[in-house]
Amino acid sequence: MSVVTSNLSVENEKKLLSLFGHVRLHLLYKASVHGYTATTFHNRCDHQGPTIIAAYNNEGFVFGAYTAKDYAKTQQNITDEKAFLYSMSAGSDKPLKVASNDGQSGFTDGDGGPNYGALVFLVDDEPDIQSNPGTGFTFTPEQMHGDDLTLTEFEVYRVEDLGGGGRLLAKPWRKIMWTDEIKLQLKQDIQSYKPVIKSVSQAKVLLVGPVGSGKSSFFNSINSVFRGNMTSQAVSGSAVRSLTTQFRTYSVTAGKGGKPLPLILCDTMGLEETADNGLDMEDLVSIFKGHVQDRYQFSPSAPLQADSNGYKKDPTLKDKIHCMVYVIDSTKIALLSDKILEKLAAIRKKTNQMNIPQLVLMTKVDGACPLVAEDLKNVYLSSYIQKKAQELSSKLGIPLACVLPLKNYSQEIDLDLDVDVLLMNAVKQILNYTDSFFDNQEEEMDTPHNAKAKYEERVV
């Protein structure tokens, strides 16, 4: 999925948030990306609950409208006592907030662009507005938009309540200990892990997710924890297209020059909306089966062939993928497009057919919830993070127990105990699920025909 970024400056976002209680904004629609049409607006914004419009013009104004009701094309006038118009300009410290004249007016819920009477957006599927002060809402054009009715950008955000006005849950929805002793125990458990099949010394885990979700950052973060200092071996960062263009296998070592952990993290291209960009399904199956060699350069024109360089002809069990891990940015869950969800569903189906266990890493939880940003230990006390985990579980068709919220290292220069504990808890769960893959291999070998093979696999 291409990364869609907000045009709101940090300052303007704070001003906008000041109009509400404890909420977070999730970008649903950006006209310069999705199109200045009523159809695309409704496709992305209908039935999304409370939303706020952010319209931009060349005079430097950011202005729009808030409604607590759904857009649904009912062809009716919607009353909404919570609706308001607002405006922010470069010279203002606080946003202008305009309530309706009667305290009840909302919008006309038609097929066109958002129509609040006094402000009508996306007129004739163009980056234009109509300004009709006094029609439901009263303002002066100079204060609202500087009399500039041509838009340079148009965005719609879903306004999401952060857990009962910011209150934390009375009890965590998962229990986790945040101590040095637990961190040491987790390290020891991970380092001492051994697959039950003796011919395999390392669990091989594939990371898959949309562009910018944090796959490479996850490896860098785990490697940093076990090295004892920040590392950046895998290329990571923010980009519209995948920064990873090769299939990479990364071993984590316990300390600089230390012994490799019984874990290999495999990184590959990010998923993108268009069929001819991002990770190809045929390449993914080849990865599952162990045919793709480290540093294979993916081709944009064709998947890996049996006669291609980088194709491993006779893979063994240790070359195959033992666990699939989806990596999803928790701040972008609402923006997962139908095309990306279709790709993820196809991957899930293929993964199930191959009896590979699956987990989900829900990254950037500190960016999704301010309470978690203040204290990472709030991650399982945050009702908002719980709700996003439930939403992700539903979208992907994967049990909630398999969804693991976490934070990667991004801008830090020193390790943090809470980040380390959350990361290592995720790794331990991955290894636990990997055992299921090896258990399935043992069951397949529990036949007279495979008795000798089973003995040879398990012999020390």
Q: Are 158 and 55 in contact (CB under 8 A)?
A: no
Q: Give tens-digit pLDDT for 421-459.
A: 999 999 999 999 999 999 888 655 544 444 444 444 444
To the nearest whole percent, how much of the chain has pLDDT over 90?
A: 64
Instruction: Look up the pTM and report it.
Output: 0.68
Q: Which domains, and CATH codes, for the chain?
A: 10-161 (no CATH), 169-458 (3.40.50.300)
Per-residue pLDDT, averaged over 376-383, amounts to: 94
* pLDDT at 427 (0 to 100): 97
Helix/strand/coil for 207 = strand
Torsion angles phi and psi, residue 309, rounded to 5: -65, 140
- CA-angle at 49, arms to 46 and 54, nearest 5°: 75
* pLDDT at 163 (0 to 100): 52
Q: In b/e form, how buried is each residue of 339-349, taking b as 16+ CB within 10 angstroms?
A: ebeebbeebbe
Q: Give tens-digit pLDDT for 135-157.
A: 999 999 999 999 999 999 999 99
431/187 Cα distance (integer angstroms) = 12
Kind of pairing, strands 76-78 and 107-109?
Answer: antiparallel
Going by pLDDT thresholds of 50, 70 and 90, the confidence category of residue 24 is confident
Kind of pairing, strands 203-208 and 323-329?
Answer: parallel
- 209 has pLDDT over 60: yes
Q: In b/e form, how buried is each residue of 45-69, taking b as 16+ CB within 10 angstroms?
A: beebebbbbbbbbeeebbbbbbbeb
Per-residue pLDDT, averaged over 241-258, amounts to: 77
Kindly list the distances between the CA atom of residue 22 and the CA atoms of 166, 204, 290, in Å, as whole numbers in the listed order. Answer: 6, 42, 48
- 377 has pLDDT over 80: yes
- 240 has pLDDT over 50: no
Q: Give tens-digit pLDDT for 69-96.
A: 999 999 999 999 999 999 999 778 889 9
324 or 384, which is more confident: 324
Q: Give tens-digit pLDDT for 184-205.
A: 999 999 999 999 898 999 999 9
Q: Give tens-digit pLDDT for 347-375.
A: 999 999 999 999 999 999 998 888 898 89
Q: Give tens-digit pLDDT for 252-301.
A: 888 887 889 999 999 988 888 776 666 778 888 999 999 999 888 877 67
* pLDDT at 242 (0 to 100): 45
* pLDDT at 447 (0 to 100): 47
* pLDDT at 234 (0 to 100): 60
Going by pLDDT thresholds of 50, 70 and 90, the confidence category of residue 245 is confident
* pLDDT at 306 (0 to 100): 83
Going by pLDDT thresholds of 50, 70 and 90, the confidence category of residue 175 is very high
Kind of pairing, strands 403-405 and 246-253?
Answer: unpaired
CA dihedral 160, 131, 42, 5 (to 10 degrees): -60
- 333 has pLDDT over 80: yes
- 336 has pLDDT over 90: no
